[in-house]
């Protein structure tokens, strides 16, 4: 039986009081942390601030925050506000941790500067602990920008980069080869063309943009009209209970005309290609066999 818990109820009049987006739960050094996006005023900046942007920029005050759990048990922990992650007082959403032998990193969706409004890129900064960014603004690296047609909305828009987005980054490690990937979302989350793109760390320094290789040949996971799977994105990754299978968890829509409210959560098994990259299935609506090792009366979901 599914259970739920409310780990955090933000107080009013704080920089993180509204529009809590993309929370992630991470275990680091035997403690649990929730990293999330927050905003002080419901995506509604004052007109004089909005006027600084070349396009409207309702998300101009979105920032990243970290909650810390009180115990090693994520379910019974009390979560308290630990810190705002330093993104240099600039737009930041969909942040995640990237763990590497050289340290801990923050990867998030960013603008070029405080009021550029679009495009939304992927930035990386180094961290000294799960709530402290140690990089300066000049050290921040943009490791991906939505320069391909499939990363833009409308598809292939060329007159400007409004609504062109790289967001929702997520670390994915090949358990067989140790290869490190960032799987991210591209285009716009309420659009049928929303899909997943891929970066691979081919060098040894995550802070060196040249050490990241982008898969520029198209989405690695994209809409499938035959199974009414549109707008597929913002994935995370897990394994089956017995550890024998790799699974992708993502959101998608059956009715792509209904926007964000039509999104549902889906999960499918995936495998690995001979070159070590993930081999994702075509998205669908199921039913699928339950994950291996799951104790369930049903065999399909």
CA distance 113 to 192: 28
pLDDT at 178: 98
pLDDT at 116: 87
pLDDT at 250: 97
User: Whole-prediction pTM value?
Assistant: 0.94
Longest CA–CA span in the chain (Å) reads: 58
Higher-confidence residue of 172 and 261: namely 172
pLDDT of residue 145 exceeding 70, the answer is yes
Burial class (CB within 10 angstroms; exposed 0-12, middle 13-18, buried 19+) of 228: middle
Which stretch, 224-228, 262-266, 269-273, 287-291, has highest mean pLDDT?
Answer: 269-273
Q: For 105-138, how does the pLDDT look when each residue is reduced to its tens digit (9 = 90+)?
A: 999 999 999 988 889 999 999 999 999 999 999 9
Angle at 142 between CA 128 and CA 50, to 5 degrees: 100
pLDDT at 123: 99
CA distance 282 to 220: 10
pLDDT of residue 159 exceeding 70, the answer is no
Tokens at 296, concatenated: 């369930």
- What is the average pLDDT across 82-91? 97
pLDDT at 161: 62
CB 186 within 8 A of CB 178: no
Answer whether CATH 2.115.10.20 is correct for domain 18-279.
yes
pLDDT at 137: 96
CA distance 135 to 194: 31
**At 260, is the pLDDT very low, low, confident or very high (cuts 50, 70, 90)?**
confident
- What is the average pLDDT across 268-296? 94
Tokens at 198, concatenated: 């891929």
Average pLDDT, the chain: 93
CB 17 within 8 A of CB 11: yes
**At 188, is the pLDDT very low, low, confident or very high (cuts 50, 70, 90)?**
confident
């Amino acid at each position: 039986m599914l259970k739920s818990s409310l780990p955090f109820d933000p107080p009013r009049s704080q920089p993180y009081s509204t529009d809590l987006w993309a929370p992630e739960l991470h275990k680091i050094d035997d403690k649990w942390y929730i990293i999330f996006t927050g905003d002080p005023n419901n995506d509604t900046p004052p007109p004089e601030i909005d006027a600084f942007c070349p396009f409207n920029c309702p998300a101009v005050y979105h920032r990243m925050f970290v909650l810390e759990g009180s115990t090693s048990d994520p379910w019974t922990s009390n979560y308290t506000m630990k810190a705002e992650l330093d993104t240099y007082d600039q737009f930041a959403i969909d942040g995640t941790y990237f763990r590497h032998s050289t340290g801990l990193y923050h990867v998030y969706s960013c603008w070029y500067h405080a009021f550029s409004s679009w495009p939304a890129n992927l930035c990386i900064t180094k961290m000294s602990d799960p709530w402290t960014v140690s990089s300066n603004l000049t050290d921040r690296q943009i490791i991906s920008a939505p320069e391909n047609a499939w990363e833009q909305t409308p598809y292939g828009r060329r007159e400007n980069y409004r609504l062109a987005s790289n967001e929702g980054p997520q670390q994915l490690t090949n358990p067989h080869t140790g290869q490190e990937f960032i799987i991210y979302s591209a285009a716009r989350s309420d659009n049928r063309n929303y899909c997943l793109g891929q970066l691979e760390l081919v060098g040894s320094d995550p802070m060196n943009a040249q050490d990241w290789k982008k898969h520029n040949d198209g989405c690695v996971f994209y809409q499938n009209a035959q199974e009414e799977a549109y707008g597929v994105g913002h994935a995370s990754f897990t394994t089956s209970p017995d550890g024998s299978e790799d699974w992708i968890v993502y959101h998608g829509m059956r009715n792509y005309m209904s926007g964000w409210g039509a999104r549902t959560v889906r999960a499918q098994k995936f495998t690995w290609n001979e070159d070590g990259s993930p081999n994702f299935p075509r998205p669908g609506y199921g039913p699928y066999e339950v994950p291996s090792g799951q104790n369930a009366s049903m065999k399909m979901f």
